[in-house]
């Protein structure tokens, strides 16, 4: 078996393959020179200077896994269905009878020849941290999750921080403009200038050139405008590729052979690179968050070994920004309305998304209890009483 990609999903796939009884050879190929490490602390504790090492503990001898670090998969040839194939790589051809694709995603960058920092790897985090010095003018493009966390760390380190956002509110893509706007005051409170509705044309030495003229001077530019899986090594493989590797609910890769739903039982994709079929939501989901990378590989590995488990959980993620713990569970893409739970200009509050009497999703700010209770209700799909949801003194529970 071969696992391509040495992030959390790759490591968890190795553990799950062994845990599910795979006794044969196992190789993990990863482009990075480091063994698998956790990424969430990169924009938090690592930038803050509180830690320098986020390696995920693993006993590679016990796992009986060959680690090919600093090696990149460059192509994939599939033999007849169920017969495996060959991964072409910088370490040579690697034949397999089962393959896990766990190559994650890479940050999107802006045009221009000026220096721009992105934050995906531990090396990038260490490099950026060395630039976050007292008085440095740091301009961050994108008021999404990463932008907000980098702004938090940079402001704490005494930098003069400006965040430039094309939409009218922070977190608009993830939460919608109405809910995202509740987080806008957090920037000023932390001494960070937030400029919304500003489109960047390119990164130049010494700052940003704005679309429509004007520039913003900066010592360092950080770009946090999203990520995209790099699937170029899978071109011509016959797998169905959209924004991610398209899979069924057990993470088996779908084929691009004109036959709807035909899968490769010997190839699974999981983590940030996979768009998996969600029976719960009736469409593919590509969820670029830690919880999926942690838990989904158990299902993917079982499928590769002939099992039929299905991954059907409601997505969950968190962010730590401006001294607050922000958590989200569910999916509000088709929700009908928003219900406020507490005063969103205050310190602790939540917002729920509902359709009829169904709780679709919740965002909690320093209200972890709401999150835990809501997760249970969302998972069960049981009806709720909207008036009770709106009362922060009443637990989130079924009606």
What residues make contact with ligand FAD under the rule CB under 6 A?
Answer: 4-10, 29-32, 39-40, 42-43, 72-73, 102-105, 119-120, 146, 230, 233, 271-272, 288-291, 293, 317-319
C-beta of 13 vs 389, nearer to ligand FAD: 13
C-beta of 354 vs 374, nearer to ligand FAD: 374
Closest separation between CB of residue 197 and ligand FAD, Å?
25
C-beta of 97 vs 291, nearer to ligand FAD: 291
Closest separation between CB of residue 38 and ligand FAD, Å?
7
**Strands across the sheet containing 193-196:** 193-196, 160-165, 137-141, 220-223
Q: What is the DSSP string of 291-332?
A: HHHHHHHHHHHHHHTT------PPPEEEEEETTEEEEEEE--
Bridge partners of 271, per DSSP, are: none
Closest separation between CB of residue 356 and ligand FAD, Å?
29
Phi-psi region of 356 (alpha: psi -120 to 50; beta: other; left: phi over 0): left
Closest separation between CB of residue 29 and ligand FAD, Å?
5
Closest separation between CB of residue 293 and ligand FAD, Å?
4
Closest separation between CB of residue 63 and ligand FAD, Å?
16
Q: Are 51 and 26 in contact (CB under 8 A)?
A: no
- Counting Cα atoms < 13 Å in the Cβ hemisphere of 90 gives 10
**Strands across the sheet containing 283-285:** 66-69, 27-30, 2-4, 99-101, 263-269, 252-254, 245-247, 274-278, 283-285
8-state DSSP, 177? H
8-state DSSP, 239? B
C-beta of 10 vs 98, nearer to ligand FAD: 10
C-beta of 144 vs 207, nearer to ligand FAD: 144
C-beta of 165 vs 207, nearer to ligand FAD: 165
Crossing angle of helices 290-304/8-19, nearest 10°?
Answer: 40
C-beta of 117 vs 354, nearer to ligand FAD: 117
Closest separation between CB of residue 79 and ligand FAD, Å?
20
What is the separation, in whole angstroms, between the first and last Cα of the chain? Answer: 48
C-beta of 118 vs 167, nearer to ligand FAD: 118
Integer Cα distance of 399 and 354 in angstroms: 13
Closest separation between CB of residue 147 and ligand FAD, Å?
11
Integer Cα distance of 294 and 308 in angstroms: 19
8-state DSSP, 81? T
Q: What is the CA radius of gyration of the chain?
A: 22
C-beta of 105 vs 359, nearer to ligand FAD: 105
């Amino acid at each position: 078996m071969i696992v391509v990609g040495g992030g959390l999903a790759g490591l968890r796939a190795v553990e799950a393959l062994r845990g599910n009884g795979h006794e044969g050879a196992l190789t993990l190929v990863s482009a990075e020179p480091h063994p698998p490490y956790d990424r969430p602390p990169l924009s938090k504790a690592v930038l803050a200077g509180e830690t320098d090492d986020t390696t995920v503990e693993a006993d590679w001898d016990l796992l009986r896994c060959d680690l090919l670090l600093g090696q990149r998969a460059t192509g994939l040839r599939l033999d007849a269905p169920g017969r495996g194939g060959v991964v072409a790589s910088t370490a040579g051809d690697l034949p397999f009878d089962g393959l896990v694709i766990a190559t994650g995603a890479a940050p999107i960058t802006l045009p221009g020849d000026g220096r721009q920092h992105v934050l995906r790897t531990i090396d990038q985090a260490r490099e950026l941290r060395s630039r976050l010095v007292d008085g440095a003018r740091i301009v961050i493009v994108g008021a999404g999750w990463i932008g907000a966390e980098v702004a938090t760390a940079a402001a704490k380190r005494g930098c003069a921080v400006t965040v430039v956002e094309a939409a009218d509110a922070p977190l608009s893509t993830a939460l919608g403009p109405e809910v995202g706007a509740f987080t806008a005051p957090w920037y000023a409170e932390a001494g960070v200038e937030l400029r919304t509705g500003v489109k960047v044309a390119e990164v130049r030495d010494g700052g940003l050139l704005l679309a429509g003229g004007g520039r913003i001077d900066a010592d360092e530019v950080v770009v946090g405008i999203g990520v995209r899986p790099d699937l170029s090594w899978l071109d011509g493989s016959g797998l169905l590729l959209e924004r991610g590797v398209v899979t069924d609910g057990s993470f088996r890769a779908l084929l691009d052979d004109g036959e709807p739903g035909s899968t490769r039982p010997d190839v699974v994709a999981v983590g940030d690179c996979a768009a998996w079929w969600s029976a719960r939501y009736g469409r593919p989901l590509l969820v670029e968050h830690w919880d999926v990378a942690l838990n989904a590989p158990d299902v993917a590995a079982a499928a590769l070994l002939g099992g039929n488990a299905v991954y059907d959980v409601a997505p969950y993620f968190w962010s730590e920004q401006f001294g607050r713990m922000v958590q989200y569970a569910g999916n509000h893409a088709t929700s009908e309305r928003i219900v406020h739970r507490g005063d969103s200009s205050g310190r602790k509050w939540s917002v729920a998304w509902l359709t009829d009497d169904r709780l679709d999703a919740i965002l909690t700010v320093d209200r972890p209890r709401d999150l835990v209770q809501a997760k249970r209700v969302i998972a069960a799909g049981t009806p709720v009483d909207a008036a009770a949801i709106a009362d922060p003194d009443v637990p989130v529970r079924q009606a």
